[in-house]
Structure 1
């Protein structure tokens, strides 16, 4: 892979950290040349490894080199690390454990306020929403657990292997597609943007087939399989929370991640569902916008907000 292609991958890695990332342009670049994905996966893999192993890196850096306290704004300046012997050393140090052959689980967490991009060993790309966590198992990252929050998966087609993503009591199987999974407050949602997945769900005898443009929602009530606009799936990556017949508990949990406030759903409205789109922004207006659209009441108490019926 040439230096120009690697610089482009570095630039896209930095661009995707921003709230206004141009995902259409990124996907067009990714699909223009198979080597683009290879370059981006290489950059994202070391990016994730450096983020997860900062203390180890500090211990081996030369005295005149430092790792910034908050590396994200400037981490991928073209050629800053890549193109030097230091880059190779760091890659071996921090990426090596990720590529090991055993099945030790690797935890990836996004504790920040912007999305986090990951490249896994099997060519799968993952975008983690804020306050989200996945656990990856297997040398080929064939088993992934969404422990909490939301993640968007871009899975390279490979008939020889099946990726399994578990979220609570739900199990998603896939051989190559793009889909988003959300797990929050006992509610579950998976939407397929491209390809097909199958979902094993509690209380269902056979796996549920999910084609592109459909979502499966589970929670306290029965499973719901409904058609959705493909543009809604993973819309949080570009600054919008979009829903089609989603349980209020799931919507409230999403808003909590972006607003930093605990959102409590009162029993008077807990069975309500929401269809619509909310602009994320800095997260401060999400609760008010939701309450206004749904005709419910939002009462603030300290760092918590209770959603309930209008009195």
Structure 2
């Protein structure tokens, strides 16, 4: 009976994603801006995955992780942006209870996966810089697959846990979410039952994931820095730093945004800041990653150039 009651409740419950509705004059410019960003994101991430596949020179652990980062960014952006675009052009901004929970579930998987994928990539750079002669032995295909599998698995476990505790809450009628995405804090704030456990689990999980992934990254980069400083040649130092530069840029933007988002107190005045931060890490970052990695990388640029030249010759 309880289960049936919850099903009936979820059928009647709807959420309204307010998004940027308080700025009616900006709806069309924002639609065009986000559509452009989303197009670049899809082309950039799928393009990066294709480039890594077709160029045998890029069949290395670093690019194996990068292709998965691109795939995660593509999935993450696709979970959030189409609904955001739709809500900028339609009057009815409602999303069903199931739709909202599903959007949260998938967004949560991909953001958790990306968090640890960046940590895995830091470990990969550590081995490459500190142990170059043993790099291919240490970063074997088996270990790489294991590490990638672990990031997806952990993302799924975290997401299932959060979603389970969200489904334990009760909701009634129409609920207005002051954001363009079904994020945890917004859904919980709409609940009419005690959400203490769900909020505590979210806080503990977010803190653990953020601290543990940052510890892996910081520890890796401390060792990388020590190794680079000890290098006798300036050229060697420059080469080592340039292999890490793209990754460091991606990490700074990703973790900087998340820390900014969750260190801001949820007062009314901060809702706009929360929305801006949400836009950054759900819409902008998935677009930036392929650009960061391709613009700083000779092999990627070379593959793109060759592909374009081949296409032109064929025509």
| TM-score of the two chains, using structure 2 as the length reference | 0.25
Work out which structure has the larger RCO, using CA pairs closer than 8 Å and 6 or more positions apart in sequence: 2
Bigger strand share: 1
Bigger helix share: 2
Structure index of larger Rg: 2
| TM-score of the two chains, using structure 1 as the length reference | 0.25
